[in-house]
C-alpha cells in the first residue's frame, strides 16, 4: 500500500493547490469590486460637492443681483427726492430708501454667508479631488493586477483539474471514496505518526496499528480523526526509490 499512500499524498497536494486557485478566483473579483466601489464612492462624493458649489454660486449670484437692483432703486429714489414737492411724499420716499438699504444690509450678510460656504466647499472639493486621484492612481494598478492574475489562474485551473483526475485514477474506487470523505470532513487526509501518536489529532495509536503503519502493509486510518496514517521515514524512502 506504499504506492497508495504516495498517490494520496500527491492528490492531497493537488487538492490544496486547487483549493487555493478556487479561493483566489473567488476572492480576486471581490477585491476588484471593492476597489472599484471605493473609487466610485469618491467620485460620487466629489460630484455631490461640485453640485453643492453650483448651488451656492447660483444663490450667491441671485443675492448679488438683488443687491444690485436695490442699489439701483436707492439711486433712483435719491434722485427723485429733489423732485418731490410735498413733505408727505418726501417722508414716504425716505422710508422706502431706508427699507431698501436695510434689506440690502440683510442681503449682504447672506452674501457673506454664501461666500464663506463657497470657500469651505472649494476647499473640500480640492481635498476630494486629491483623494480621488490618489485612489485612482493606487487602485487602478491593483485592479489591473488582479485582472491579470485572474486570467493566469483561469489558464492554470483546467490543467490542474486534469492532473487531479489523472492522479486519482491511481487509487481504487473505494480508497478514492474514503479520500473524498476524509477531505470533506478534515481538509487534510494524511497524518504523520510519531511515537505512536497521530499528529493530525494528537491521539494515541494502539501499538498494533502503529506497527502496521510502519510496514505500510495496508492503509490505516486514525481511529479518532479518520486520517490516513503514515510514517515519514517510510514515505520518504518510497518517494526516493519511486
Grid cell locating 151: 486570467
Q: Identify the pLDDT of residue 229.
A: 93
DSSP 37-82: HHHHHHHHHHHHHHHHHHHHHHHHHHHHHHHHHHHHHHHHHHHHGG
- Residues 26, 151 contacting (CB under 8 angstroms): no
Q: Identify the pLDDT of residue 82.
A: 82
**For residues 26 and 154, what is the distance between their CA atoms, to the nearest angstrom?**
11
For 29-56, what is each residue's pLDDT tens digit? Answer: 999 999 999 999 999 999 999 999 999 9
**For residues 113 and 56, what is the distance between their CA atoms, to the nearest angstrom?**
10
CA-based nearest residue to 147, from 19, 18, 30, 7: 30
For 96-125, what is each residue's pLDDT tens digit? Answer: 999 999 999 999 999 999 999 999 999 999
**For residues 18 and 8, what is the distance between their CA atoms, to the nearest angstrom?**
15
Domains in the chain, CATH or no CATH each: 13-166 (1.10.287.1490), 173-241 (no CATH)
**For residues 201 and 215, what is the distance between their CA atoms, to the nearest angstrom?**
21
Grid cell locating 235: 514515505
Q: What is the mean pLDDT of the chain?
A: 92
What number is the average pLDDT over the span 157-162? 96
- pLDDT class for 235, splitting at 50, 70, 90? low
The alpha carbon of 17 is separated from its chain's Cα centroid by a whole number of angstroms, namely 24
What is the bridge-based pairing of β-strands 228-230 and 190-194?
parallel
Number of other CB atoms surrounding residue 114 within 10 Å:
20
The four Cα atoms 182, 185, 186, 188 give a dihedral, to 10 degrees, of 40
What number is the average pLDDT over the span 76-103? 90
| Helix (DSSP H) and strand (DSSP E) numbers for the chain | 5, 3
Residue carrying the nine cell digits 492554470: 156
- pLDDT class for 4, splitting at 50, 70, 90? confident
Amino acid at each position: 500500500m506504499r504506492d497508495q499512500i504516495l498517490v494520496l499524498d500527491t492528490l492531497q497536494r493537488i487538492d490544496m493547490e486547487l483549493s487555493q486557485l478556487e479561493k483566489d478566483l473567488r476572492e480576486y473579483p471581490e477585491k476588484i469590486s471593492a476597489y472599484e466601489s471605493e473609487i466610485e464612492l469618491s467620485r460620487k462624493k466629489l460630484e455631490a460637492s461640485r453640485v453643492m458649489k453650483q448651488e451656492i454660486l447660483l444663490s450667491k449670484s441671485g443675492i448679488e443681483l438683488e443687491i444690485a437692483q436695490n442699489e439701483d432703486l436707492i439711486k433712483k429714489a435719491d434722485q427723485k427726492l429733489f423732485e418731490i414737492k410735498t413733505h408727505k411724499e418726501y417722508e414716504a420716499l425716505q422710508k422706502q430708501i431706508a427699507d431698501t438699504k436695510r434689506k440690502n444690509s440683510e442681503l449682504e450678510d447672506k452674501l457673506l454667508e454664501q461666500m464663506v460656504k463657497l470657500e469651505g466647499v472649494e476647499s473640500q472639493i480640492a481635498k476630494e479631488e486629491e483623494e480621488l486621484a490618489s485612489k485612482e492612481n493606487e487602485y487602478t494598478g491593483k485592479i489591473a493586477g488582479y485582472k491579470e492574475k485572474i486570467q493566469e489562474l483561469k489558464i492554470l485551473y483546467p490543467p490542474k483539474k486534469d492532473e487531479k483526475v489523472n492522479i486519482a485514477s491511481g487509487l481504487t474506487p473505494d480508497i478514492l471514496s474514503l479520500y473524498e470523505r476524509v477531505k470533506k470532513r478534515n481538509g487534510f487526509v494524511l497524518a504523520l505518526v510519531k511515537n505512536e501518536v497521530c499528529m493530525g489529532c494528537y491521539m494515541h495509536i494502539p501499538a498494533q496499528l502503529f506497527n502496521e503503519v510502519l510496514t505500510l502493509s495496508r492503509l490505516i486510518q486514525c481511529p479518532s480523526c479518520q486520517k490516513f496514517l503514515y510514517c515519514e521515514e517510510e514515505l520518504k524512502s518510497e518517494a526516493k526509490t519511486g
